[in-house]
Structure 1
């Protein structure tokens, strides 16, 4: 944890959180932009619904692969070095998608876009937590989710104008990601490396701590926390990722709205969700965190059940989206980000977040591949299934993950153990 900061250091911490947290902006931008752009590209390139599902799943799968690689690399080589290189790759991917002459190039661009997005997330979140004032890590980490949310209405506003432009509209939407990525790349170039990571790195090099981070994470101290965090995030994110990738599809192909109308309604829904994000920032480091988690879980389940109970129309899809965007803030991804900082120490944090994120995006990729098929088979079953998924995630979060920081604190209070002991080997004498 960081030490208490003076005003100048505090401003610097917010700046670092903002610049590093743009990883979430780029991640959500990739997901939501692709969800809308593929609708427009499909009109021009004529690919099938199955190819639409393939491309959506490819994006999510490559985010998983990127997170799995980027997390451990950032623990070893540094937060700044990794998230600078990943952003360069993101720029290359955006250029390909802006200029794509056919569906084959969409596969290439989306593959690179997903990989770079995923690899960027763990080092960026770790950088935020390691630069935050002590006792306020939850607030600072939640800023990254606010940035994740902010990009969605921005993309949808662009979609309002681009929705009637066909393939040129899709290129314009990816052009937005390209421009933002270039600006963030310049800003990140000037960020210093995480001081906390550097101190841990120096300790590793002098032999005072063990470098076997994966051995430690899969040892008896952290394994159940890692499994719990991964399951919570992976299961809950099925709903969040489906809403992000398929919101426009649900509004248009299921609800009967136009792309422009769908984009406008989604902007309103996300702005409502931003209220929930700032609620989390205000109360995430207080005793009200878990009561808000419970309320958010109940409201999120209700949101997805509404279209099943009332029928699927533009109005009920909007009610679902607006209520879910609000409810998932205290009960979804922001909680994963907070818990993963509290549970895992600096030297293992990137790897732990990478593993959890990789698992989550792999699950979401499978869900994205199957979503069009399930929608075609039974729309009502689709909405009720997502509600059931959220119930399972809520139970895992309430009864399992929320208790892990206290459990680990009690274990560590019995006295320090070596990395070999933490990894599940014979305790050090």
Structure 2
């Protein structure tokens, strides 16, 4: 046990294994959309309503998992929560792999949704806390690269494996199961976050000294200034941006086949075209995210996302506009969207509320997306122009929040290992540094 305190930490190893939560999140989202909405639909006789309810329920389960998993990660540590959550993920994927009817599909989407929801805020916090100063944003954005890698892997399998029908869906879920088990085994070699452990000791020491001290570790402290404003801003930004991204992720195949009369494999192949560009753009953002130039790149990405969603809203959802919205928004998301949200969710909240806050905003975002997903197939077919017009409107709201409000929010300071003031005065206040 004594060796644990002297063993060198590897920030990149931690970033990779923690960031695989993003890989598994994106891969589960896209796999469910392709397998349930495409490969499983006809053999299992799944109606549009059943497809919508399955994918929507998965997103709602993610919301519940993030809400409770984030808080448990702040209370009991990062390592414990992301270990158990990945076990549940593997079980859920196995259910989806062997499903022969809606019952196991419902059980599988709930299990995978709960698991990845609990895993993501805790894993992001660990990657941020184990990164050296000046590289924290880089490590967090790297998780976005793994999110992209998850999409590439699934679309690559779907495009080139040459298998149709229910077997195609089973192969995609088998890929998730293999990756989840491998990541679980490797994560067992990781240690607990040193920053979390230090902050926990400091909070306990201050509580002992003064039971009335404000620790910024209790849930109620999340709903007081300045953390409340950060919670509202990041939650609103992520939720409004994610409505468009979630629609493409879960229902892109369905919209392509239903509105543009295309084929599943063709859609996957076209989507793959923009992913190398997105990957290179992500590498660029990793280099600038911890520098002042970040704001200019974020503005550029935001503009691309708005333009992308304006195309189907104004011109209608044909093959050209649906491909364009995938490619243009995909490039923009390298500098905005989920990438920047993840950075903000680490910078704006103190250590012992970081995963809790991330869990709350993720829960809110996925809850909104899950409710929207329940009616997406029917609404997209019955009110097509209004559907894309609303997605454009939400994208504009996200742009305003991200460009105007978030830059005015102060960053949270790091919590010290020991309380600086023996009287128990609060340490986790905020500095005057802006988020962008």
CA apart distance, 1:37: 0.4
Asked if structure 1 preserves the Cα contact closer than 8 Å seen for 2:217 and 2:352, the reply is: no
CA apart distance, 1:170: 0.6
CA apart distance, 1:164: 4.3
Asked if structure 1 preserves the Cα contact closer than 8 Å seen for 2:216 and 2:350, the reply is: no
2:25 match: 27
User: What's the CA shift string for 1:368-414, capped at 9, x where partnerless?
Assistant: 122212211232222222111111001011111122126x67xxxxx
Q: Aligned pair in 2 of structure 1 residues 420, 370: CA closer, same or farther (>3 Å)?
A: farther
2:329 match: 324
DSSP-derived class of the 2:291 partner: coil
Distance in 2, Cα, partners of 1:122 & 1:249:
29
What are the within-5 Å matches in structure 2 for residues 195-214 of structure 1?
195-207=194-206, 210=215, 212-214=217-219
1:68 match: 67
1:103 match: 102
1:338 match: 343
Distance in 2, Cα, partners of 1:292 & 1:381:
30
Asked if structure 2 preserves the Cα contact closer than 8 Å seen for 1:162 and 1:170, the reply is: no
- State which drifts further: 299-308 or 391-400: 299-308
1:256 match: 261
Asked if structure 1 preserves the Cα contact closer than 8 Å seen for 2:158 and 2:172, the reply is: yes
1:226 match: 231
Distance in 2, Cα, partners of 1:95 & 1:389:
35
User: What's the CA shift string for 1:60-88, capped at 9, x where partnerless?
Assistant: 10110000011010111110010000000
Distance in 1, Cα, partners of 2:392 & 2:161:
32
Asked if structure 1 preserves the Cα contact closer than 8 Å seen for 2:69 and 2:122, the reply is: yes
1:277 match: 282
Distance in 1, Cα, partners of 2:16 & 2:183:
10
CA apart distance, 1:283: 1.2
TM-score (norm 2): 0.89
Distance in 2, Cα, partners of 1:292 & 1:421:
30
2:352 match: 347
Distance in 2, Cα, partners of 1:66 & 1:87:
12
Distance in 2, Cα, partners of 1:74 & 1:419:
22
1:4 match: none
CA apart distance, 1:162: 5.1
1:369 match: 374
User: What's the CA shift string for 1:134-169, capped at 9, x where partnerless?
Assistant: 022111100101000111111011112457420111
Asked if structure 2 preserves the Cα contact closer than 8 Å seen for 1:236 and 1:332, the reply is: yes
DSSP-derived class of the 1:193 partner: coil
Tell me which of 29, 34, 37 is aligned to 1:36.
34
CA apart distance, 1:205: 3.5
Asked if structure 2 preserves the Cα contact closer than 8 Å seen for 1:82 and 1:120, the reply is: yes
CA apart distance, 1:203: 2.3
- State which drifts further: 103-112 or 240-249: 240-249
User: What's the CA shift string for 1:160-189, capped at 9, x where partnerless?
Assistant: 245742011111100000000000001000
Distance in 2, Cα, partners of 1:47 & 1:83:
33
DSSP-derived class of the 2:364 partner: helix
Asked if structure 1 preserves the Cα contact closer than 8 Å seen for 2:216 and 2:222, the reply is: no
1:46 match: 45
User: What's the CA shift string for 1:20-53, capped at 9, x where partnerless?
Assistant: 1100011111100000001211111112101111
DSSP-derived class of the 1:44 partner: coil
Tell me which of 226, 244, 252 is aligned to 1:247.
252
1:176 match: 175
CA apart distance, 1:296: 1.4
Q: CA RMSD in A?
A: 2.2
CA apart distance, 1:311: 3.8
TM-score (norm 1): 0.91
What are the within-5 Å matches in structure 2 for residues 383-398 of structure 1?
383-398=388-403
Distance in 2, Cα, partners of 1:9 & 1:403:
37
User: What's the CA shift string for 1:299-354, capped at 9, x where partnerless?
Assistant: 11111121233443222211110001111221211111111111111111011111
Asked if structure 2 preserves the Cα contact closer than 8 Å seen for 1:216 and 1:420, the reply is: no
Distance in 2, Cα, partners of 1:304 & 1:113:
29
Q: Aligned pair in 2 of structure 1 residues 36, 281: CA closer, same or farther (>3 Å)?
A: same
Mark the runs of 5 or more structure 1 residues left unpaired by the alignment.
1-7, 410-414, 423-429
Distance in 1, Cα, partners of 2:74 & 2:407:
25
What are the within-5 Å matches in structure 2 for residues 294-313 of structure 1?
294-313=299-318
Asked if structure 2 preserves the Cα contact closer than 8 Å seen for 1:162 and 1:168, the reply is: no
Asked if structure 1 preserves the Cα contact closer than 8 Å seen for 2:216 and 2:428, the reply is: no
Mark the runs of 5 or more structure 2 residues left unpaired by the alignment.
1-6, 208-212, 414-419, 430-436
